[in-house]
Chains A and B, each alone.
Chain A
Amino acid sequence: MKYLHLIWANLFRKKTRSLLTVLSIVVAFLLFGMLDAVRVAFTVRDSLEGASRLVVSSKLSIIQPLPYADLAQIQRIPGVEAVAFANWFGGIYQDRKNFFANFAVSNNYLDLYPEFVMPEDQKQTFMATRTGAVVGRNLAKRFGWKIGDKIPLQATIFPHKSTGNTWTFDLVGIFHARDSSNANQEDQMIFHYDYFDEGRTFGNGTVGWYMVKIADPRHTSQIAQTIDHLYANSVAETKTQTEKQFNLDFAKQLGDIGLIVSSIMGAVLFTILLLTGNTMSQAVRERIPEYAVLKTIGFSNQTVLWLVLGEALLMIALGGVFGLGLSVLGADALSAAFRGGVFQVAVQTWLSGSVLMVVLGLAVGFPPALRAMRLRIVDALSGH
């Protein structure tokens, strides 16, 4: 520890160079923290404890449909208050980049979502209109839709029996989230399952997933088990989980999150390795005569080795801790921006981040440290 001032003084000797290097480490670890928060969100299973709604989907894959016949069986399970169902439609409005969630739902679907508020008359019109659709306020705003508009969607999965790829819906209602913190859930469109099922050319009589409302949240995990048990060894085994988990799993099929995250992280860290490695080597090269003086005074080879290693570790740790700290704020921003995800920089991220700092610090510091350790005093002093 008594050498710390020596390391510190060396570290910030060329202030601009050191600050730029530390800054790049900050950015790298900011990215690391946020990406790892995303990865963790996708790998940690959401606890069933206390949830009042469950989603039942195919165990095989989230896009595998379930038989319509399951509905009656699930409804009969004690403790189940209501069951709704839905089917992903995946329609596109005008252009592929206008992505939003749209799916067909059972008539009682909105009853299970008291957090969505819609005027009573619009609700009634929806029930009475076979081709009716309701959208969240955000979505209506985004495309300038008004009640009474006809909205054509291009099918990506389910062509219509008679109208081909174009399905036309009548906008009859606009809902909004009761709680403004759920406003990010206003980006969806729902319409009647009956209209969808009659129109589609395949898959009739199946549903994408069931929503189960639980009478008493204390029994949630037991009911989840009962449902999955019911269909164990059947042709359509089920996976019953919380909505949050379901949403995450749904997003996951868009791409291998783990792979994406680790490739970005790998690229970033490799860059850092080169960048800081170069800075450290250059710094040590410039200071070779000074390390020779320290050795002349009697500093051992190992002490000199640790002075350089310590400097590399300190530099990475400074940037790393600051970057991870910033990623806590970054993760909050992510959570606010994306629906269905709660992104947090977990303890495990701090741990793996710290390990990463040490590994990077050693990798970056070792070559110049070895060079400083091995230098021969008389050669360095005489310039040989």
Chain B
Amino acid sequence: MNNNDNLVNIRGVTKSYQRAKQKVEVLHGIDIDIARGDFLALMGPSGSGKTTLLNLIGGLDKPSAGSINVAGTRIDQLSSGELARWRASNVGFVFQFYNLLPMLSALKNVELPLLLTGLSGTERRRNAEVALRLVNLGDRTQHKPKELSGGQEQRVAIARAIVSDPTLLICDEPTGDLDRHTADEILGLLQVLNREHGKTIVMVTHDPKAAEFAHRQLHLDKGTLAKSANNGG
């Protein structure tokens, strides 16, 4: 594989957390390449470091050692202010518990990332509406999170993640809180975003069925990559 086709290059990444007086290494020398347009499922037992690795790729935290290169940017070398700006324009995040702001309508939630752009109020509103239509919630713009089902909330969260058109989507157990049927809908939506909108997706999941929606799977165990499999070759 040509290096230039890769969106993400991870080399020798370790991560330690300070716990009380003790330093605990959670990731030990991780190397991963993620191609542009890839849909990667990251699996592994609880506590194996999946979220930690995902947060490093999304620029929410910095590695203790090693390098992370995303679309030509060494994000491990950015200051926290630069990282925030980088996240705003390059990454969308989807969490297990949706993490919408409860007092804002669906539309206002989706608009949030656009507040950081130079767009006018009308443009922000229009883009947010487009994103909500894309996730099939064009008729729920004024609903508050409380008034939506779990699956609908997660779709609002996905609309929020894609509204500023990032190349990379980071999803941490996006279906962990949903029933099978709704989970499949959400995974189908992610697949559409991957295939038709060219989003590169890194998704953590416990669920082997969910992982099947991805192109390939990586297994993390106690902070080390175990094996990888290509779905359907």
Contact = CB atoms under 8 A, between A and B. Distances in A.
Query: Does A associate with B in a complex?
Result: yes
Contacts of A9: 101, 103-104, 108
Contacts of B116: 297-299
Interface in A264-321: 289-290, 293-301
A298 B88 contact: yes
Contacts of A384: 17
Contacts of A378: 52, 55, 60-61
A109 B87 CA distance: 85
Given A2-B121, A289-B99, A297 B112 contact: yes
Interface residues of B, number: 29
Nearest to B92: A297
Contacts of A381: 55, 60, 95, 99
A106 interface: no
A13 to B, nearest CB: 5
Contacts of B160: 297
Given A9-B104, A290-B101, A2 B60 contact: no
B115 A296 contact: no
Contacts of B55: 377-378, 381
A10 B55 CA distance: 27
Interface residues of A, number: 24
A234 interface: no
Given A378-B55, A378-B61, A296 B87 contact: yes
Interface in B83-105: 84-89, 93, 95, 99, 101-104
Contacts of A295: 84
Interface string A340-382: 0000000000000000000000000000000000001110011
A3 interface: yes
A294 B93 CA distance: 11
Contacts of B231: none
Interface in B47-86: 51-52, 55, 58, 60-61, 80-81, 84-86
Contact of A296 (B81, B93, B103): B93
Given A378-B60, A378-B61, A297 B113 contact: yes
Interface in B106-129: 108, 112-113, 115-116, 121
B151 to A, nearest CB: 19
A5 interface: yes
B100 to A, nearest CB: 8
A377 B99 contact: no
Contacts of A298: 84-89, 113, 116
B139 to A, nearest CB: 22
Nearest to A300: B84
A293 B58 CA distance: 13
Contact of B93 (A5, A10, A297): A297
A114 B93 CA distance: 83
A294 B95 CA distance: 13
Contacts of B99: 289-290, 293, 381
Contact of B84 (A6, A299, A376): A299
B161 to A, nearest CB: 9
B84 A10 contact: no
A2 B103 contact: no
A290 B102 CA distance: 9
A295 B80 CA distance: 10
Interface in B172-186: none
B60 A377 contact: yes
A3 B115 contact: yes
A9 B109 CA distance: 12
B94 to A, nearest CB: 11
Contacts of B104: 6, 9
B81 A301 contact: yes
With most chain B CB atoms within 10 A of its CB, the pick from A5, A13, A293 is A293
B9 to A, nearest CB: 22
A286 to B, nearest CB: 11
A295 B58 CA distance: 12
A291 to B, nearest CB: 10
Given A2-B115, A296-B93, A301 B80 contact: yes
Contacts of B84: 295, 298-301
A382 B87 contact: no
A13 B103 CA distance: 7
Nearest to B117: A298
A9 B108 CA distance: 11
Given A378-B60, A382-B51, A297 B88 contact: yes
With most chain A CB atoms within 10 A of its CB, the pick from B58, B112, B115, B160 is B115
The 10 closest A-B pairs by CB, nearest first: A298-B88, A9-B103, A298-B87, A378-B61, A293-B99, A377-B60, A297-B113, A13-B103, A300-B84, A298-B84
24 contacts: A2-B115, A2-B121, A9-B101, A290-B99, A293-B101, A295-B84, A297-B87, A297-B93, A297-B113, A297-B160, A298-B84, A298-B85, A298-B87, A298-B113, A299-B84, A300-B81, A301-B81, A376-B61, A377-B60, A378-B55, A381-B55, A381-B60, A381-B99, A384-B17
Interface of A: 2-3, 5-6, 9-10, 13, 289-290, 293-301, 376-378, 381-382, 384
Given A290-B99, A296-B93, A299-B116, 13 more contacts: A5-B108, A10-B103, A293-B99, A296-B60, A297-B88, A297-B112, A298-B85, A298-B86, A298-B88, A298-B113, A300-B85, A378-B60, A382-B51
